[in-house]
Amino acid sequence: MTPERRPYRRESEETRREALIGAALDIVATEGPAQATVRAIADRAGVTPGLIRHYFTSKEELVRTAYLTMMDRMTADSRRGLDAADAPVDPAARLALFVANSLRAPVVDPQRLGLWAAFIQRIRHESEMRDIHRHTYHRYRSILEDLIRALALPGFDDRRCREAAITCNAVIDGLWMESSALPEEFSGETGAVRIGVSAVGALLGLDLAAALPPEIPGDTE
């Protein structure tokens, strides 16, 4: 009896590329950036080392792409729900949702913090990594600035909206780092979501916590 042959399925170019990026992120997260060699990434992705050269000009380009991918995913996770059919219409509720998403899982995550720390060291020495960091920082801050501008607060011209976004972003970043590193310190009344939403509201002169959608818990999950 002839054994049944398994159907052959050709993976798309994008699927293979994503697999390589995912493998690079996994290795950096679990073993450190020094262990993210071409061979290790290829083995983790289940491909030959030569295939990496097909998608990326070098290992360094792959690592930079992995960093960009991680930061873009974090921004997308912070935005989740803002473009849904049932997204809140009230500007305060939209801002509260964005801040809350930035301070809870999956954005708040020890592994993502470890990845960020591993990548951030390269920014001082590599202009390409610095450019990626600048791009992703500006993208996140721009979303925050637009959400603040939509509040139409008295006296908040473009300059003040930009300065408020920079300040609020700094508060969110600090809470994100600490709650990812020490999740046991942030729960209940000291939850990062509760503190972050209240702090951003205070900076803007709003009771932003009152605008938080009811389905969003007041602490990290």
Nearest partner of 150 among 197, 187, 95, judged by Cα: 95
Alpha-carbon dihedral sign for residues 181, 186, 190, 196: positive
Q: pTM for this one?
A: 0.88
Averaging pLDDT over each range in 26-30, 206-210, 211-215, which range is the top one? 206-210
Extents of the domains making up the chain? 10-56, 63-211
pLDDT digits (tens, 9 = 90+) for 116-125: 999 998 898 8
Is the predicted pLDDT of residue 167 greater than 70, yes or no?
yes
**Residue 135 identity (one-letter amino acid):** H
pLDDT given at position 82? 95
CB 156, CB 148: distance < 8 Å: yes
CATH fit for domain 63-211, picks 3.40.50.620, 3.40.50.970, 1.10.357.10, 3.40.50.300: 1.10.357.10
As its CATH architecture, domain 10-56 has Orthogonal Bundle (1.10)
Mean pLDDT for 190-219 is 88
